[in-house]
Amino acid sequence: MDKFIIHGGRKLNGTVAISGAKNATLALMPAALLASGTFKLGNTPRLRDVTTMSSLLKSMGMKIDFTNNLLTLDTRGVNKHEAPYEHVKKMRASIYVLGPLIARYGRAKVSLPGGCAWGPRPVNLHIDGIKKLGANVELEHGYIVAHAEKLTGARIHFDISSVGATGNVMMAAVLARGTTLITNAAIEPEITALAEFLVKMGAKIDGIGTNRLEIEGVSDLHPSDCETIPDRIEAGTFLVAAAMTGGSITLTNVNPNHFSAVTAKLEDAGCKTEILDSGFWFQAPTELKPVDATAVIYPGFPTDMQAQWIALMSIATGTSIVTDTIYTDRFKHVPELERLGADIELKKNAAVVRGVKSLTGAKVMSTDLRASASLILAGLVAEGETEVLRVYHLDRGYEAIEKKLKALGADIERVAGEEF
């Protein structure tokens, strides 16, 4: 397991290109199961999660080539319809194969993902949605086992707006007989990107980008190509890095509309921003004001930026409250940030963050992807040396993070190989 060694105190300055969105790629790749032929996905980020999804799809018979950031998927040899526990336990997004498999092959066997690093993450909405489309679903020995002669369109209302369930049910419905209406659908940009890709493949979907999706099933889809949208969470993470270190950076390959909730909070904290033709310009203030943030569904403040926001607020000039309504237990980073000198009190699903004058370097442990990002951010400003252990979590979702941070002036090294 690799670790990062960071010497804090360097201002970040310069330009950084944002990679393709992890969460879009993880939905686009299984969508290829819906048609026979060759797909090309450009701007695909080189991430551990993409490798995990590739291994899963290869185990089903797909041929995959990944050259630079171009992913080529050849689905002609797909002959297995199972997502084994060995793959799903590494990455919950593996459940995205459920919808395409049941839609195209009439059967799917997908391991239940179980809990995640910060608590339970149910998949009941995925299962209920597939059942509503007429699939017979049994839970056997830790697996979702689904069969259907032919799926039939249905009206599906999600009690909770779920990114994954919307994506899965949408992928199932595009090949169902008749019309499916999904209400309270997720409107995250990654779901919109998936819907647009499905339309390029020949699907009929109305209401893309809204929480009411009307899908008219078609009998066949065809392969297509697309460019993955920029990663809004990576963009937000770099902005917080610049904000914490007192720097000024420009992001390229971004869609600022996708992270405007984060921009608004950064401006409230005193940061300056400007949307450019070619990207997004950002400057940190001399003093960061405390700003409350509540993680909600899109277009609100994202739960995937909650940990980074707590890191930022830990050096603001006052007290702020950071609440998570999506994942109420997602606070494993808090004790680690405290090891770096942050003053944070947890009250149910909220963190009361009392800004301190400075953080100090220490050894800290990554527990999940975004928690790890918050520790790197804190390390960038902590006095002395910070060691962030178990950075494989970061490699799941940030492409070449240390190279990008170094290019902006950070003092960060990856130490490879040993068991830390």
Among 46, 58, 80, 121, binds ligand UD1 (CB under 6 A): 121
Nearer to ligand UD1 among residue 124 and residue 252 (C-beta):
124
Secondary structure element (H or E) that encloses residue 61, with its range = none
Q: Which of 165, 221, 307, 401 contacts ligand UD1 by CB under 6 A?
A: 165
Please report how the helices 98-105 and 124-132 are oriented relative to each other, as an axis angle in degrees rounded to 10.
Answer: 20
Shortest Å distance, C-beta 118 to ligand UD1: 10
Taking alpha carbons only, the member of 226, 217, 245, 236 closest to residue 383 is: 245
For 67, residues 6+ apart whose C-beta sits below 8 A from its C-beta are: none
The only residue of 15, 124, 252, 278 in contact with ligand UD1, by rule CB under 6 A? 124
C-alpha 151/C-alpha 99 separation (Å) is: 11
Binding segment for ligand UD1 (CB under 6 A), chosen from 121-129, 244-252, 334-342, 382-390, is 121-129
By beta-carbon proximity to ligand UD1, the closer residue of 123 and 284 is: 123
Can you tell me which of 1, 160, 276, 415 binds ligand UD1, judged by CB under 6 A?
160
Residues annotated catalytic, as ranges: 116
Our finding on whether 317 is near ligand UD1 (CB under 6 A) is: no
Residues of span 319-378 touching ligand UD1 by CB under 6 A = 326-327
CB of 115 to ligand UD1, least distance (A): 10
Q: What are phi and psi of 264, to 5 degrees?
A: -60, -40
62 or 191: CB nearest ligand UD1: 191
Shortest CB 327 distance to ligand UD1, Å: 6
Bridge partners of 414, per DSSP, are 4
Considering the rule CB under 6 A, would residue 123 count as an interface residue with ligand UD1?
A: yes
Residues in the chain: 420
179-218 residues near ligand UD1, rule: CB under 6 A = 186, 190
Interacting residue with ligand UD1 among 43, 52, 75, 162 (CB under 6 A): 162
Quickly list H helices, 162-314: 163-173, 189-200, 232-245, 260-268, 306-313
Tokens linked to 387:
């060691």
Q: How far is the CB of 396 from ligand UD1 (least distance, A)?
A: 10
CB within 8 Å of 316: residues ≥ 6 apart: 269, 288, 289, 290, 291, 353, 355
* Residues 295-314 within binding reach of ligand UD1 (CB under 6 A): 303-304
Q: Which is nearer to ligand UD1, 23 or 224 (CB)?
A: 23
Which residues have a Cβ under 8 Å from the Cβ of 185 and sit 6 or more positions away?
158, 161, 166, 170, 191, 207, 210, 211, 212, 213
- Indicate the SS3 state at residue 145: strand
Choice from 115, 122, 142, 300 touching ligand UD1 (CB under 6 A) = 122
Instruction: Round to whole Å and give the CA distance between 162 and 259.
Output: 19
- Does residue 163 belong to the site contacting ligand UD1 (CB under 6 A)? yes
Q: Give the closest residue to 284 by CA, choosing from 244, 324, 323.
A: 244
Q: Which is nearer to ligand UD1, 169 or 340 (CB)?
A: 169
Q: State the residue number with the nearest CB to ligand UD1.
A: 164
Nearer to ligand UD1, 327 or 331 (CB): 327
Binding site for ligand UD1 (CB under 6 A): 23, 26, 92-93, 121-126, 160, 162-165, 186, 190, 303-304, 326-327
